[in-house]
């Protein structure tokens, strides 16, 4: 078989499997429409069941859709496939936080920060949990840490405002 024939067969096989679907891949990474993002990530996962990024993106979309059990499942898979993915820990932390599981959320945010020390959103999310737990001093510290990394972080700015603290 010639090289050209082999390439044509590979292109056809990829098209049939959906791995050439750039629209699904693009939509899986676009959080503007969480419903569309989740559906697109499902397509990407069907074509590549080991795509940690697609599981993590679907996890994030499920959080936006308030589907926290589905989110936890996707985040767990993303972490299993890519244990050093700080974003997956942060997203799983959000799901735990929204379910009121504050200690589990803090563990995930801690892991996200340990993996990526400049992950401002994880610090801000950790601040939110401390605020919910009534630990204002620790919440303010976390929010300020987020702002030291990312001065326009909306989560941290909003959290400080709610607590009546200055940035």
pLDDT digits (tens, 9 = 90+) for 54-73: 999 999 999 999 999 999 99
Structural domain boundaries enclosing 146: 118-167
Q: Is 113 within the bounds of a domain?
A: no
User: Which of 80, 108, 136 lies at the terminal end of a domain, its last residue?
Assistant: 108
Both 103 and 139 in a single domain? no
Q: What percent of the chain has pLDDT over 70?
A: 87
Q: Is 8 within the bounds of a domain?
A: yes
Both 101 and 142 in a single domain? no
Model confidence pLDDT, tens digit, residues 23-48: 999 999 999 999 999 999 999 999 99
Residues 6+ apart with CB under 8 A from 72: 59, 92, 95, 96
Number of domains composing the chain: 2
Please tell me the total number of residues recorded for the chain in this structure: 167
Q: For residue 152, what pLDDT is reported?
A: 97
- Predicted structure pTM score: 0.86
Distance CA 94, CA 153 (A): 16
Both 89 and 161 in a single domain? no
């Amino acid at each position: 078989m010639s090289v050209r024939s082999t390439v044509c067969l590979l292109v056809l096989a990829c098209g049939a499997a959906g791995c050439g679907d750039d629209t699904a891949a693009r939509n899986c990474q676009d959080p503007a429409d969480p419903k569309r993002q989740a559906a697109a990530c499902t397509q990407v996962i069907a074509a590549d069941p080991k795509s940690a990024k697609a599981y993590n993106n679907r996890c994030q979309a499920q959080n936006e859709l308030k589907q926290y059990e589905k989110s936890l499942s996707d985040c767990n898979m993303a972490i299993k496939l890519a244990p050093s993915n700080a974003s997956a820990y942060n997203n799983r932390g959000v799901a735990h936080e929204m379910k009121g599981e504050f200690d589990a959320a803090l563990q995930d945010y801690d892991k996200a920060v340990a993996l990526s020390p400049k992950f401002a959103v994880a610090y801000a999310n950790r601040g939110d949990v401390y605020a919910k737990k009534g630990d204002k001093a620790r919440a303010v510290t976390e929010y300020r840490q987020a702002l030291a990394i990312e001065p326009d972080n909306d989560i941290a700015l909003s959290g400080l405002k709610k607590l009546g603290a200055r940035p």
